[in-house]
Amino acid sequence: MHLSASVTLWLKPKNTRYAQDHNRQNGYSVHMDQQSRTSDEIGHIPVLADPIMELFDAKPGMIYLDCTAGRGGHASLVAQKLGKTGRVIALDADPANADFTRQRLSSYPCQSDVLHRNFAQVTTALDELGVDKVDMLLADLGFASNQMDDPTRGMTFQADGPLDMRLNPDIPTTAADLVNRMAERELADVLFQLGEERLSRRIARKIVQVREKEPIKNTLALAELVSSCYPPNQRGKRARIHPATRTFMALRIAVNEELMALERLLDTLPQIIKPGGVAAIISFHSLEDRRVKQRFLQFDQNDCAKRLTRKPIVADDAQIRQNPRSRSAKLRAVQFGSDMPA
C-alpha cells in the first residue's frame, strides 16, 4: 500500500491544529460557490476543509461519496476537482439538505447523484447507483448549522420550538415522544450514556414529575426544567456550557440513532473503499470519536487500512473564531490497502 506524499504529512505525533483560510489557501472557494451564494444563504461553513482536500487529493475521474451532504460544502470543493469524468454521490437523512446539495452540485461538470438516505444504508444506495467502490468517502457527523439554527427543528434551546430533533422528518419518533413516554430509569440512562450528563437521574425524575401534570412539548420548557436541576452557580452566565446542552445532545443522538448509524458505516468501510482510497470522518463528541478511533486502529492492526491521522486533526484558533462549531471537530482518516476483503 502506498501513501502519497501529501497524506504522509498527516502522520503527526500530536493533535494537529489546522490553519484554515478558505478563500486564500489552495484556491478552494468555500464561502462563495459557483452561483455566488454567500455562506449566510448556504447556512453552513464546512469544517476542516483544507486538510480534507489534502487527504483526498481528488483528481478527475475519481468517485467521491459524501455520507453527510449537508449544505454541499465539502461536496462542492471535491466536485471542483473531479472534472467531467468524476462522480459525486451524496447522501443526507434530511430531504431538505439533500435537495439543497443536489441543486448546488448541478453547477459542476461531474456526474452527481444526491439521495435522501441514511448512511446506515450506504451499501444499498451504492447498489442502486450501480457503484461498487469509491475513491474517497467523507462523513461529517451530526447536524448542519441551518438545522440547528431553525427553531422549528427543535435542536436548539436558544429559541422556542417543538421538541422534534429529527434529522429525517419521515422517522416516527420525536424527542417529545421520548421525553413524555420513556420510563424514568430508561430516560436517565439515555441522558447519562448519550449525553454524559452527571445529573441524569435528577433530571429524569424532574421530567417525570412535570410531565405527569402536562406533556413537555417545547424546547424552552425542557431547557428551563433541566436548568432548574442544576445548582444556581452552574446555570448563570458564568456556566461554561448551558445546563441543557448534554440533555439536548443525548436526545438528538437517541432520536436519530446516530451511534448505530455510525457503527454500521464503520462496518461497511472495507467493502466500499477502493484499494488506495481514503475514508475521512469528522466527529463532534467523544462518543463518536472513540468509535472512529478504535475502528481505525483495528483496520490498521489488521493490515486492512493505514491510519493517516494518528492523532485527530483539529481546527486552529482562526477557524474557531470564524466558525465556532469547528471547536469540537476531530478529523480522522484511513487509507485502505490492496489486501483488504473484496
Ligand X SMILES: C[S@@+](CC[C@H](N)C(=O)[O-])C[C@H]1O[C@@H](n2cnc3c(N)ncnc32)[C@H](O)[C@@H]1O
Q: 54, 56, 64, 68: which one contacts ligand X (CB under 6 A)?
A: 68
Query: Residues touching ligand X: how many (CB under 6 A)?
Result: 22
- Contacts to ligand X from residues 139-158, by CB under 6 A: 140, 142-144
Q: 261, 305, 313, 333: which one contacts ligand X (CB under 6 A)?
A: 261
Among residues 168 and 228, whose Cβ is nearest to ligand X? 168
All residues at 6 or more sequence positions from 132 whose CB lies less than 8 Å from its CB, including other chains = 126, 272
Q: 7, 33, 64, 70: which one contacts ligand X (CB under 6 A)?
A: 70
- Contacts to ligand X from residues 73-112, by CB under 6 A: 73-74, 91-94, 97
Q: 55, 63, 137, 167: which one contacts ligand X (CB under 6 A)?
A: 167
Among residues 166 and 307, whose Cβ is nearest to ligand X? 166
SS3 for the chain, per residue? Answer: CCCCHHHHCCCCCCCEEECCCCCCHHHCCCCCCCCCCCHHHHCCCCCCHHHHHHHHCCCCCCEEEECCCCCCHHHHHHHHHHCCCCEEEEEECCHHHHHHHHHHHCCCCCEEEEEECCHHHHHHHHHHHCCCCEEEEEEECCCCHHHHHCHHHCCCCCCCCECCCCCCCCCCCCHHHHHHHCCHHHHHHHHHHHHCCCCHHHHHHHHHHHHHHCCCCEHHHHHHHHHHCCCHHHCCCCCCCCCCHHHHHHHHHHHCCHHHHHHHHHHHHHHHEEEEEEEEEEECCHHHHHHHHHHHHHHHHCCCEEECCCCCEEECHHHHHHCHHHHHCEEEEEEECCCCCC
CB 273 within 8 A of CB 134: yes
Among residues 192 and 284, whose Cβ is nearest to ligand X? 284
Q: 118, 180, 219, 319: which one contacts ligand X (CB under 6 A)?
A: 118
Tell the smallest beta-carbon distance from residue 110 to ligand X (Å).
17
* Strands 330-336 and 305-307, bridge-based pairing: antiparallel
Q: 46, 154, 161, 312: which one contacts ligand X (CB under 6 A)?
A: 46
Among residues 306 and 330, whose Cβ is nearest to ligand X? 330
Q: 10, 39, 44, 285: which one contacts ligand X (CB under 6 A)?
A: 44
User: Is residue 323 within the footprint of ligand X (CB under 6 A)?
Assistant: no
The window from 1-9, 33-41, 118-126, 266-274 that contacts ligand X (CB under 6 A) reads 118-126
Tell the smallest beta-carbon distance from residue 325 to ligand X (Å).
8
Tell the smallest beta-carbon distance from residue 49 to ligand X (Å).
8
Task: Specify the residue for cell string 413537555.
Answer: 216
Among residues 79 and 226, whose Cβ is nearest to ligand X? 79
Among residues 135 and 258, whose Cβ is nearest to ligand X? 258
Residues that bind ligand X (CB under 6 A): 44, 46, 68, 70-74, 91-94, 97, 118-120, 140, 142-144, 167, 261
